[in-house]
Amino acid sequence: MPVALRLATLAVAAVALLGTAASGYAQEPIRIGVLQPMTGPATKNGTENFTAMQIAREMINERGGVNGRKVEFLLADIPTPTAAISETERLTTKDGVKITLGSGVSLLAVPVSQAAERHGVFHWETAGAADIITKRGFKYTFQVGPAAYRYGHAAVDLTLGELAKRLGKSPSDLRIALLWENRAFGKSVGDSIRAYAKEKNIALVYDEGYDQFLTDMTPIVQRLKDVKPDVLIAISFPNDAILFQRKAKELDFNVGAMVGVSAGYSNPDLRDSIGDMVNGIFVSDFAARVNPKALTPETLKIADEFFKRYDDKMKRPPAGHASSAFSATWALFTEVFPKAKAFEPAELREIALKLDLPEGSLANGSGIKFTNNDWPTDPKDAGQNLRASIGVWQWQKTGNNQVFPPKLATTEPVMVPLPNWSQR
Amino acid sequence: MTTVGQLVFSGLLIGGIYALMSIGLTLIFGVLRIVNFAHGEFLMVAMYGAWAMTRYLGLNPYYSIVAIVPAMFLFGIVVHRLIVMPALDKPHLVVVFATMGLSILMQNVALMALSADLQDVPPILGGRSFTFGPFYAKPELLIGFAVAVACTLGLRFMLQATYLGKAIRATVQDGEAAQLMGVPVPRIFLITFAAGSALVGLSACIMTPLFSVFPTVGLNFVLIAFVIVVLGGMGSIEGALLGGICIGIVQSLSSYYIAPAFGQMFFFMLFLLVMIFRPAGLLGRKGEATLGIND
């Protein structure tokens, strides 16, 4: 009996194996290498981005996949730039991946795209913003989120368009101060703001870089007190943003409006760190949740489903980078993949370059139109998405609400001018 | 005039904080003649401790001193026993690499266990400051400065007037002779290292309401601490206070009048000048770097 039983089991197993093999051949999954910092300093960005990408994958697979093929992720953890290179190489050479998706933050996106390009892999970048990503003439790297310089432009547009009016001044009379941390991101955004302001004939009353590791903000705040700006635009990291705000309160430095750019001021934990002092601060950042009217009806449905699923998993609404991760991944699944046959990088590149999606086509309000080496404004750029949405949201008592540009805004800006420290 | 006054005043107060976090380092150097490269990470661990007690027990961060200081004393004992003591009679580089390794280990464990997120405790008085005429100062800074001065005086009194202090000075002057006179030199080393750590614990409790806590926070301060220790005179307790204040004021004035990005450059220039013209440091005496703590 036991022998017969064993034989029967073997037979069943063999049939099952054959079955999976056969169906596997018919519907071989589309394998994508996902590179995210799941440990290390950028863990938070990495896990949030990956959650958003997973939601996109679940949604497409539940809908039957791409032309019947399921999507499969191979996740690689990239805590550091060195790991970013070695993991990208491992995925491409050992696992034979031809499509990569990533990569948490600019610092990691730069090496990931470098390694991917070297192996001729199609890289779809959702979060890396540094201008350099698309300035190296790469063929297969596509930066779906906004490039760094556009953060600066959004801050200036808000200042001249909305804040001037609310501060009762004409844009040319407005006293604008610019404070930037002097590393890669801060400097490139600072440069873009300076250039853009000059283009608009606006003179900055203060323009200064500082070291991120500065332990005392007194001299900076004191200098700002001397120039009495109406609007302060600051590009900071979390630690220095907190030190600055505390010192501003200590030395009673008051300003009509405060616009922060990304990392330091968009950090969701800022409210835990400095409490209600955060209210009223504007943040130029990836758009997280935009005005539903800015989206096409089909996109709105997809966006709502994403927000609901994200909230179920993470118990909080997505930050801008997570929204961007979802939007870009969803576009890859629904706009690029269905048109592909061989899923080879060269073919995917052709499809991507032909994409022409109007703004509002993706859940975060973006559209897609990539530059292709011959773009008139910057001939060296390749694969930068000119229709990536960027906007400004504001820390408000009710949460973080999109306030600019008017098309994407969900609420009006409040607390302009900012009340003096003694009144808040 | 008001601006200069404010800059000097703020520089003085922050200098007190810098001094406070350097006293432990100078004490350890003065007695054991070793540089603890994990000093910044000791500060980080203690700041996390102070933060956790405030966050989870709802204590005022200053009350956490009663727990953090003894805890850091014990931590100092453990580190001394496991890492420093075995390296003491080996070539000097061994201690350097041992403490540097410890520093990297502690940073990475903290990154894994606590993530890179910033943690903060709410400021006292809701972050408002006292005004003295036209000048502003946060109570946290005033308290920090007072503690730094009290610590310096207390430590000086301890070294001059107590048996332990005399034993420490005897150990520094001539370890072998002290041992022959019945001073338990290995234990003096242990106590000094632990006391140095405890002082780091104290400064962490003072600094937590002023600065965010994160795994690499030590890096922001450790360089300043090394400069202060050398500037003041290696092993000089009063020198650390004076060095801290000098750095605070130089940083404040140079950042304001020249550029904030160059603030560190100027205190390193000051440091170089002192090294050229007074190699033993402001309050150090010739040969003190090899002699140890002054009496």
Phi, psi at B99, each rounded to 5°: -75, -30
Enumerate chain A positions whose Cβ falls within 8 A of a Cβ in B. 39-44, 182, 208-211, 213-216, 218-220, 222-223, 226, 238-239, 242-243, 246, 249-252, 267, 269, 272-275, 277, 421
Q: What is the pLDDT of residue A17?
A: 46
Q: What is the pLDDT of residue A246?
A: 93
**Is A250's CB within 8 Å of B112's CB?**
no
- Phi then psi for A395, rounded to 5 degrees? -70, 115
B261 close to A (CB below 8 A): yes
Measured in angstroms, the CA of B184 and the nearest CA of chain A are apart by 41
- Of the candidates B115, B118, B220, the beta carbon closest to that of A43 is on B115
Closest Cα partner for A334 from A85, A34, A61? A61
Q: How many CB pairs under 8 A join A and B?
A: 111
Of A40, A269, A421, the CB nearest to B118: A269
Say if the Cβ atoms of A239 and B115 lie within 8 Å: no
Peptide bond into A405 cis (omega under 30): yes
Nearest alpha-carbon partner for A41 in B102, B215, B51 = B215
Residue B241 has a pLDDT of 94
pLDDT in tens, B240-278: 999 999 999 999 999 999 888 887 788 888 888 888 888
Element housing B132 (H / E): strand B130-132
Query: Do A252 and B136 make contact, defined as CB atoms within 8 angstroms?
Result: yes
Q: How far apart are CA A155 and CA A262, in angstroms?
A: 10
d(CA B202, CA B71): 10
The CA R_g of chain A, rounded to the nearest whole Å, is 24
Mean pLDDT (10-residue bins), chain A, 424 residues: 52 47 63 91 86 97 95 95 96 96 89 95 92 88 91 94 94 94 83 94 93 88 95 91 93 95 83 89 89 92 96 90 95 96 94 94 94 59 87 90 90 93 84
Residue A136 confidence (pLDDT) = 86
In this predicted structure, the answer to whether residue B286 has a pLDDT above a threshold of 90 is no
Distance from CA of B200 to the nearest CA of A (A): 17
Q: Is B263 left (phi over 0), alpha (psi -120 to 50) or beta?
A: alpha
The sign one gets for the Cα dihedral A249, A251, A257, A261 is negative
Residue A141, strand partner residues: A123
Label residue B284 by pLDDT band (50, 70, 90). Answer: confident
Disruptive mutation site among A218, A272, A274 for chain B (greatest number of B CBs within 10 Å): A218
C-alpha to C-alpha distance for B19 and B228, rounded to whole angstroms: 7
The pLDDT, as a whole number, for residue B103 is: 94
For residue B255, the distance in angstroms to the closest alpha carbon of chain A comes to 6
Tally of helices (H runs) and strands (E runs) in chain A: 14, 14
Q: B254 to chain A: nearest residue by CA?
A: A219
Q: Which of B212, B252, B259 sits opposite A216 (nearest CB)?
A: B252
B-chain residues within 8 Å CB-CB of A267?
118
Measured distance CA(A394)–CA(A388) in Å, rounded: 20
A223 to chain B: which residues are within 8 Å by CB? 256, 260
Q: Is A296 helix (H, G, I), strand (E, B) or coil?
A: coil
pLDDT at B100: 94
H helix or E strand, kind and range, residue A124: strand A122-125
From the list A372, A369, A375, the residue with the least C-alpha distance to A389 is A369
Q: What is the complex's ipTM, to 2 decimals?
A: 0.88
Per DSSP, the three-state class of B80 is helix
Residue A25 pLDDT = 47
User: For chain B, what percent of residues have pLDDT higher than 90?
Assistant: 63
Contact B138 A250 (CB under 8 A): yes
Maximum CA extent, chain A: 96
What 3-state DSSP class applies to A28? coil
Residue B56 and residue B70 in contact, taking contact as beta carbons nearer than 8 Å: no
Mean pLDDT of B184-202: 95
Q: Which residues of A touch B119 (CB under 8 A)?
A: 273
Q: Pairing relation of β-strands A99-102 and A122-125?
A: parallel
Q: Considering only CB atoms, which chain B residues are within 8 Å of A210?
A: 260-261
Q: Per residue in B221-235, pLDDT tens?
A: 998 999 999 888 877
Residue B93: Cβ within 10 Å count: 9
Residue B236 pLDDT: 86
Of A210, A211, A246, the CB nearest to B127: A246
Distance from CA of B12 to the nearest CA of A (A): 12
Q: How far apart are CA B61 and CA B83, in angstroms?
A: 30
Token duo for residue A189? 């955004």
Distance of CA A77 to the CA centre of its chain: 18
pLDDT attached to residue A20: 45
pLDDT of res. B110: 92
Give the model's pLDDT for residue B285: 66
Mean pLDDT of B178-206: 95
H or E segment to which residue A77 belongs: strand A71-77
Q: Give the ranges where A315-344 is alpha helix by DSSP (H).
A: 320-331
Confidence class for position B203, pLDDT limits 50, 70, 90: very high
What chain B residue is nearest to A253 in terms of C-alpha separation?
B136
User: Which residue on chain A is closest to B213 by alpha carbon?
Assistant: A239
Chain A neighbors of B260, CB-CB under 8 A = 208-211, 214, 219-220, 223
Between A372 and B104, where is the model more confident?
Answer: B104
Q: Does B142 score more than 60 pLDDT? A: yes
Distance CA A114, CA A281 (A): 36
pLDDT of residue A259: 97
* Per-residue pLDDT, B123: 83
How confident is the model over B114-134, as pLDDT tens digits?
Answer: 877 889 998 887 778 888 888
B118 vs A208: CB contact, 8 Å cut-off?
Answer: no
